Amino acid sequence: MTAAIAIADASGLAAVSMRAVAARLETGAASLYRYLSSRDDLLDLMADRVAAELRPYPEPDGDWLDTLVRMARAQRAVHERHPWLFELSQRASAIGPEALAFFDACLKVMAPVEAPFAAKFEAIGMMNGVAILFARKRTAGESLTFVGLDVTPYPYLLAAFSEPVSAPPATDLFERALRSLLRGLLTPDGA
Positions in the binding site for DNA (CB under 7 A): 16-20, 27-31, 33-34, 38-40
Nearest to a copy of itself of 10, 147 (CB atom)? 147
Nearest to DNA of 35, 154 (CB atom)? 35
| Residue 54 binds which entry of a copy of itself, DNA, none, CB below 5-8 Å type-dependent | none
Name the one range near a copy of itself by CB under 8 A: 22-30, 33-41, 67-75, 180-188: 180-188
Query: Per this entry, what is the length of the chain?
Result: 191
Cis before 188? omega within 30:
no
Q: Does 136 bind a copy of itself (CB under 8 A)?
A: yes
Contact yes or no for 165/154 (Cβ under 8 A): no
Q: How many residues bind a copy of itself (CB under 8 A)?
A: 62
| Residue 56 binds which entry of DNA, a copy of itself, none, CB below 5-8 Å type-dependent | none
Name the one range near a copy of itself by CB under 8 A: 18-26, 64-72, 74-82, 156-164: 156-164
Name the one range near a copy of itself by CB under 8 A: 20-28, 35-43, 69-77, 99-107: 99-107
In sequence order, which residues have a C-beta less than 8 Å from that of residue 177 and are 6 or more positions away? Answer: 130
What 3 state SS string does the chain have? CHHHHHHHHHHCHHHCCHHHHHHHCCCCHHHHHHCCCCHHHHHHHHHHHHHHHHCCCCCCCCCHHHHHHHHHHHHHHHHHHCCCHHHHHCCCCCCCHHHHHHHHHHHHHCCCCCCCHHHHHHHHHHHHHHHHHHHHHHHHCCCCCCCCCCCCCCHHHHHHHHCCCCCCCCCCHHHHHHHHHHHHHHCCCCC
| Residue 9 binds which entry of a copy of itself, DNA, none, CB below 5-8 Å type-dependent | none
Binding stretches for a copy of itself (CB under 8 A): 86-87, 90, 92, 94-95, 97, 100-101, 103-105, 107-108, 111, 115-122, 125-126, 129-130, 133, 136-137, 140, 142-147, 149, 151, 153-157, 159-161, 163, 165-166, 168-170, 173, 176-177, 180-181, 184-185, 190-191
